[in-house]
Amino acid sequence: MPPFPARTPRESQHETSELMLPQDANNLGHVFGGVILSMMDKAAAVAAIRHARATCVTASIDRVDFREPIHVGDLVVMKASVNHVGRTSVEVGVRVEAEELTSGRRRHTNSCYLTFVAVDRNGRPLEVPPLRPETPDEVRRAAAAVERRRRRLEERDAESRRAGAAPPPRDGDGLGPPDSHAPPDTRPSFA
């Protein structure tokens, strides 16, 4: 028997919205991609943490394309739902909609998949409850997530191999190993 009872996607779903203001946008009034990414990360984190009922860190954010602009004055709505869980990781899908408040017209502007890992107080991965998809859509999303997970981990491993095979950076190019005579770096680190 698993150590935790399974949870359904519905139990952790999260919806959030925010009015886009001039500080969120460029001089044409188009909202910065980074504002949307930050909202996606937070909305997805809520769903992942609710599912795991543990601290979760963002392990990866899949490719995001910005196909249509979102404008100042739009209400950005994020809908986050857990699609799939592994042993310690949780994939969350986020659907982004932009509502033009004066007309009520809503556009689906982006979707994105983010992977979170539940961690203990030392940052070590923690087991999460299994997922029990209920609706046909949830079953379809969970199945699609398996293939995404496979590709994501393959890309991560290929990237690690490339990084491992790269020659060490030369001294003097600003990327060399730390100077052994330099004082220790006491700055706080934010993983």
What residues make contact with ligand COA under the rule CB under 6 A?
57-60, 86-89, 115, 117, 119, 123, 125, 152-153, 156, 191
State in angstroms the smallest separation of the CB of 125 from ligand COA: 4
Q: Of the two residues 12 and 88, which places its CB atom closer to ligand COA in the complex?
A: 88
Closest residue to bound ligand COA by CB: 86
State in angstroms the smallest separation of the CB of 157 from ligand COA: 9
Q: Are strands 89-100 and 105-118 parallel, antiparallel or unpaired?
A: antiparallel
Q: Of the two residues 80 and 98, which places its CB atom closer to ligand COA in the complex?
A: 80
State in angstroms the smallest separation of the CB of 114 from ligand COA: 9
State in angstroms the smallest separation of the CB of 57 from ligand COA: 4
Cα–Cα distance, 49 to 57 (Å, whole number): 9
Q: Of the two residues 5 and 172, which places its CB atom closer to ligand COA in the complex?
A: 5
Distances 182 to 73, 122, 154, 179, 186 between C-alpha atoms, Å: 50, 29, 38, 5, 12
Cα–Cα distance, 100 to 81 (Å, whole number): 24
Q: Of the two residues 9 and 20, which places its CB atom closer to ligand COA in the complex?
A: 9
- Burial-class residue 20 by CB neighbours within 10 Å (0-12, 13-18, 19+): buried
How many C-beta atoms surround the C-beta of residue 128 within 10 A?
24
